[in-house]
Every structure is written in structure tokens, then in C-alpha cells.
Structure 1
Amino acid sequence: MKPVKTIITLVAVSLFMSSLQAHHIESDDLDIDSRTSLEGKIVDVEWINPHVIIHIEVLNDYGVKQLWLVQADTPNSLLRSGLNRQSFSAQRNVILDVYPSVSTNCAVTCLSYGISITFKDNRTLPLSRLNDISI
């Protein structure tokens, strides 16, 4: 019976660790040579730990709406930067500077790591303590 418990425990820990990993964009998955500005409309925000996820809808080169998921720092870090949940109100037009993910082809949704957010009044605030990544 002990080997069965050990196997079940190992499987459970492995599944838990993989689900934690799924919430993070790894630094080696970022194209730091392709810093991109996304101008569009916020459609949702996930104000959760370990990272805030901003959903922004932009028009691609063909004029078709494209959804981007932008990973930012923790809610606490964003609060210290002057951002709060209301800063990301739906339908708000913003510009996000991001590093795109190299592992997604943007067929349905693009993934990226947020650097900064610029509002209509030209206020720019960081989305990351790293602000610029040196890998």
C-alpha cells in the first residue's frame, strides 16, 4: 500500500507544480528584441496573485480584432506603482508596451509580458518592477 500512496503523492505534486507553472510567462519565452506597443481597449482584467492579467483587444494589421493577454506584476506591486483595479476599467483605451511571447502564434490569443501602460492623459506607469528586462 505504501508504494501506491507514494505514486499518488508524486502525481499530485507534479500536477500542482505544472498548474503553477502555467500561470507564468518565462523569461526565455519573451522576445526582448521585439518590444511592441499595443493600442487598444481593455476588455477584462484578472486582479489575482501571482500576476495581474490584462485582456486587451487591438486591431491587427488586417483590421481584425485580436485579443492579447498581458501579464503584469502582482496586485501589490501595481498598487505601489499607483495602479489599482479601477485603473483597468473595461472599455478603457490604453497603450501597453510589452514583450511578446515567442511560443504563441496569435491564432486565437497572443501572450505577452507588460512593461508599462499609458493612459489617454499621457500618464505612463510601470506594469513590472523589471520595466526593462536584461536577460
Structure 2
Amino acid sequence: MFRKTITMIALIPALFAVGPARAHHSFAMFDPAKVITLQGTVKEFRWVNPHTSLFVNVTGPAGQSGVWAIELTSPGNLTRLGWSRQSLKVGDRVAVEVNPLRDGQHGGGFRKVTLLDNGTVLQASLINIEKAAAGGH
């Protein structure tokens, strides 16, 4: 009985840790009803867990120019879709489709990127790839 009690007490902190981990994966900060395309050059591509991120120097209409922080999925998910840490390089000219942040800051949730110098399109979701293959958005 004493061991069960000790085990239960030891598990309580682990249960509390699950809440923040689940909350971390919320994408509520992005507006799924809006899709914008940004053009610019890759400033940085971070291949890290739990989410990769892309920073793009955007040149565009007023309100869009500046550095945009774009959140992608995990490196593991991207690897399964054919990506590598070399898929995007500093200086690459890109058009990036994102769901922008709801608060209007320069950031968004990644949808797809087109490398402007060679036309390569990279996506981070099988759903988006299947829609594109079917002629959808």
C-alpha cells in the first residue's frame, strides 16, 4: 500500500506536465480563415523540436514588409514528407503561404512555400498535398 501511495505521488507532477505540453500545440493564434502569400528571402530556417520555424525578410505591400516568423510542424513530420534541414537555405527567394497571426504581428502558420528560383513547392501537410493534387487550394 505504501509503495502505491509513493508511486501515485510521484506521478502527479507528470500529470501536470501534460497540460502545458498539450496547450503548446494549439494553433488558435493563427487565423485559419485567412491565407496570405508573402514574398521575400529566407533569413533563417530552424530545424528544431518541437516545431521548425522559418524567418523570411518580406518585401511587399505596406504592413507586410519586415521579418516574418513562420511556424511549421516538427522535423520528424517534415522528414516523412521528404524535407531535410537543407530544404530551405539562407538567401533563398521564396513565396510563402501562411495563415497569419490573429493579432496582426508579422507571423503565421505555414501552409506551403515555393522556391522562386526553381519553382519547387514544399508543403508540410499530407492534407494540403492531397488537396493540391486534386486541384483544390
Could you tell me the TM-score, scaled by structure 1's length?
0.70
> How do 1:77-88 residues align onto structure 2 when only pairs under 5 Å count?
77-88=77-88
Asked if 2 retains the 8 angstrom alpha-carbon contact of 1:44 and 1:56, the reply is: yes
> How do 1:1-135 residues align onto structure 2 when only pairs under 5 Å count?
17=20, 21=24, 24=25, 26-62=26-62, 65-103=65-103, 105-106=104-105, 110-119=106-115, 120-131=117-128
Name structure 2 gaps, 5 residues minimum: 1-11, 132-137
State the 4+ residue runs in structure 1 displaced beyond 4 angstroms. none
Secondary structure, aligned partner of 2:57: strand
C-alpha deviation, 1:29, in angstroms: 2.1
Q: Residue 6 of structure 1 aligns with which residue?
A: none
Name the Cα RMSD after superposition. Answer: 2.7
Asked if 1 retains the 8 angstrom alpha-carbon contact of 2:31 and 2:102, the reply is: yes
Name structure 1 gaps, 5 residues minimum: 1-8
Describe the superposition over 1:21-79 as per-residue Cα deviations: whole angstroms up to 9, x where unpaired: 3xx5x333221222011111000111111110001110142398411111111111111
Change (3 A) 1:101 1:129: farther
Describe the superposition over 1:88-134 as per-residue Cα deviations: whole angstroms up to 9, x where unpaired: 1101111111100103x33xxx12000111112212121234538xx
Q: Which has the larger radius of gyration?
A: 2
Q: Which has the higher contact order (CA 8 A, sep 6+)?
A: 1
Asked if 2 retains the 8 angstrom alpha-carbon contact of 1:72 and 1:128, the reply is: no
How many positions carry a matched residue from both structures?
114
State the one-letter code of the partner of 2:48: I
Asked if 2 retains the 8 angstrom alpha-carbon contact of 1:31 and 1:101, the reply is: yes
Could you tell me the TM-score, scaled by structure 2's length?
0.69
